[in-house]
Structure 1
């Protein structure tokens, strides 16, 4: 028998062991499964409309808006919570192309299938179609908007000129319009004339934006670069184009443009446009921007601010006036950029038309006076 004292192992403190690495991984995996399962169940529930309510909201989709914008609008209205999931569901169901534009009444939390079914049905919104001819002024555009029950003329102009705080800085041209106290209307020249269909219940901002978006589409970067290559700002080219539009607006555009280019050229013996389109003449029968549009705006000819009158009277002011005198079409804009090279090189400085619309061009004042005598004898 061994009488040596036995070592008391039970009295030693035991080292506690934590979970093994494998156990940690297992626990994480289980947690992910649980979390993923909860999220997955939540997504499936949203798709199926398990939390649908009876609360109705109106969602408006504009023409041309795609799945991304539509999903965002639905989320903002509280109809869905996960716009990304909705977009993927549209793709899975191949339903994106069936969605319509208009106003839709939907319940918050509605199933995705119910949403798609509702939004796949065309909802008619009352519209009005208006044609704005090339060379129309901003004020006349505003009057047409009011006459068609879309908004008041004052509301339209306040928005178009940014006077009500409206911002169109998403367009490069808007940021380039000079901040000039002599400029009569900031919007003049950029409200692109065309035929448009408007919703009767839309916002004034959207109405104005329709014109600006079309201008931005029509006046391409290539045209803008062409203006820069000629040494003109965009504002100057649109101003010149407005005179080409008013003085011609037909097959004579390029020749009329050449006459104005020659007058604007450095060292020109006739540095004023001297166009009746914007002049000192007080005659209701003339198409005169100062008499027909500026004067009424200020309550009469005698009330026109001196700086505005001086900035737009082309018989006194050298070069271009402060801004456009109408909203030109694309052909007039292109003519302003592409004057007739023969008439440009031959230095034609004058033109006049007879009552039949025939144009007579001249290089000298004496030739021009002879043409005037002929034109007015027709």
Structure 2
């Protein structure tokens, strides 16, 4: 019997592979980058290279210092090498003057080059940025050593006192100094006859040739500490004072033009009034108040001051022989011969006696400092407005030595004088 053929049975579907088993994990942990340790060796290499670069840069800077600046040099600086100065002292002096940057480097280079013992004294002009070789070459050249004298001139010194101090320091005679400073004929130190021309100074051209003026230079020999060359000319000595005055006054001239109705109408007016402030006050704390009193006397409409008199005891009325009075007992009186004559010429009194004349006298009575000049131009406004006219200082031997007392009326002033111990 034939077998019954059956339809082919489909092949059984394969069973799916079992899902792999995974451990639980945190998504955030999967995304966090893994930390890597920075190699310590690399840090050491970077630091070492930085040190090498810094050291190389410093060496390059020192090399450029020795070899000189490739660009433009600095301004000229004049230094005076003292007699007997050694390489160490000279290196210190050059570093202080800004000519070399490293004192130790220049000192070492001078020794290494063998020129440390060849450096010569004298005045020399150098510039920052020069090569060490150029500096040493100039320092090694023979120069004429110019000795200097340093002299201090106190504020309030008269022109005669300044001239006498110049003579005492062996720089020139007092008479030749004064003649030169006044623009008169004088004898220079080399024996030649000369007349100095100071017309290059603006202030000099503005000094009036007013009648009775004793010294043209009075008030303009600016008090300061100066260093003079012993072998310099008298004219250069005078110019030292005038240069400083021009420098100091250059920033104050605008104040004169700003107050045309003031009693100060010129630089000469400012210098004259400042000389009285210098003599009567002499303390910066009091200069402006004393200036206010003087301004009130010269400008007030008060009937008591209708004559606008300065009335300063510094010129020429004195109450005692110890007063510092320009006409009676200052070096000026002796220089002019008034002491021997026993009297001051009438024409001088007519020009300088502030108790007899109206306004400012013919000239200054001393050489004031900057503070007194500024006070002359800027009196204390409160004392101006309140009408102060009088002042007196305490007697050094009294209860109020050096203290200032101010008053508006003559009666108040009399009371202050008694209180001050006079």
**TM-score bucket of the superposed structures, by smaller chain:** 0.5 to 0.7
Aligned-partner SS, 1:333: helix
User: Residues 234, 96 of structure 1: CA spacing in aligned structure 2 closer, same or farther, 3 A cutoff?
Assistant: closer
Cα pair 2:153 2:223 within 8 Å, conserved: yes
Which 4+ residue blocks in structure 1 deviate beyond 4 angstroms?
91-101, 118-123
Confirm whether residue 258 of structure 1 aligns to residue 303 of structure 2. no
SS at match of 2:373: helix
Q: Deviation of residue 366 (structure 1)?
A: 1.0
1:148 to 1:369, Cα distance in 2 relative to 1, 3 A: same
1:256–1:351 contact (8 Å) kept in structure 2: yes
Q: Residues 95 and 362 from structure 1, CA distance in 2 versus in 1: closer, same or farther, beyond 3 angstroms? A: closer
Cα offset, 1:195, TM superposition: 0.3
Q: Is the 8 A contact 2:272 2:365 kept in 1?
A: yes
Range moving further from structure 2, 222-231 or 92-101 = 92-101
Relative distance call for 1:282 and 1:373 in structure 2 (3 A) is: closer
Cα distance change, pair 214–97 in 1 and its aligned pair in 2 (3 A): closer
CA distance in 2 between counterparts of 1:260 and 1:99 reads 45
Q: Which residue does 2:159 correspond to in 1?
A: 138
Deviation at 1:150, TM superposition (A): 0.1
Deviation at 1:103, TM superposition (A): 8.3
Of 148, 171, 176, the match for 2:169: 148
- Following superposition, the deviation at residue 235 of structure 1 comes to 0.6
Q: For the residues of structure 1 that align with 2:225 and 2:322, how far apart are their CA atoms? A: 27
Match of residue 183 from structure 2: 162
Matched, 1:236 2:269: yes
CA distance in 1, matches of 2:326, 2:176: 22
Matches within 5 A, 1:359-374: 359-374=404-419
**Secondary structure at the counterpart of residue 339 of structure 1:** coil
* Deviation of the 1:249 alpha carbon: 1.4
Residues 87-144 of structure 1 show CA distances to partners (whole Å, capped at 9, x for unaligned) of xxxx99969858767389xxxxxxxx99x73687775311110000111110000000
Alignment of 1:184 with 2:222, yes or no, is: no
Matching residue within 268, 274, 284 for 2:311: 274
Distance 1:206 1:167 in 2: 11
Normalized against structure 2, the TM-score is what?
0.61
Q: Cα–Cα, structure 1 residues 347 and 298, in superposed 2: closer, same or farther, change >3 Å? A: same
CA deviations 1:298-326 (Å, max 9, x no partner) are 31254533211211111111111111100
Q: Distance in 2 between matches of 1:318 and 1:238?
A: 17
- Whole-Å separation in 2 of the counterparts to 1:125 and 1:216: 26
Conserved 8 A contact 1:100-1:119? no
C-alpha RMSD of matched pairs (Å):
2.9
| Matching of residues 209-224 of structure 1 within 5 Å | 209-224=239-254
Distance 1:96 1:346 in 2: 53
Q: Which residue of 2 aligns with 1:300?
A: 338
Structure 1 228/237 Cα, relative in aligned 2: closer, same or farther at 3 Å? farther
Instruction: From the superposition, tell whether residues 224 and 142 of structure 1 become closer, same or farther in structure 2 (CA, over 3 Å).
Output: farther
Pick which of 288-297 and 136-145 moved more.
Answer: 288-297
SS at match of 1:240: helix
Alignment of 1:125 onto 2:162? no
TM-score (norm 1): 0.67
Structure-2 change in CA distance of 1:334 and 1:99 (3 Å): closer
Aligned 1:12-91 pairs, distance under 5 A:
none
Which runs of 5 or more structure 2 residues have no equivalent in the other structure? 1-69, 81-122, 126-133, 186-194, 396-400
Contact conserved, 1:134 with 1:327, CA < 8 A, in 2? yes
Q: Aligned pair in 2 of structure 1 residues 93, 247: CA closer, same or farther (>3 Å)?
A: closer
Match of 2:402 among 357, 360, 375: 357
Unaligned runs of 5+ in 1: 1-90, 105-112
Deviation at 1:284, TM superposition (A): 3.7
Bigger Cα Rg:
2
The 3-state SS of whatever aligns with 1:156 is helix
Cα distance in 2 between the residues matched to 1:167 and 1:321: 26
Aligned residues: 280
Q: Aligned in 2, Cα 1:284/1:372: closer, same or farther, shift over 3 Å?
A: closer
User: What is the CA distance between 1:367 and its match in structure 2?
Assistant: 1.0
Corresponding position: 1:198 with 2:235: no
Deviations 1:239-286 (A, max 9, x none): 000111111111111100000000010534462111111113385411
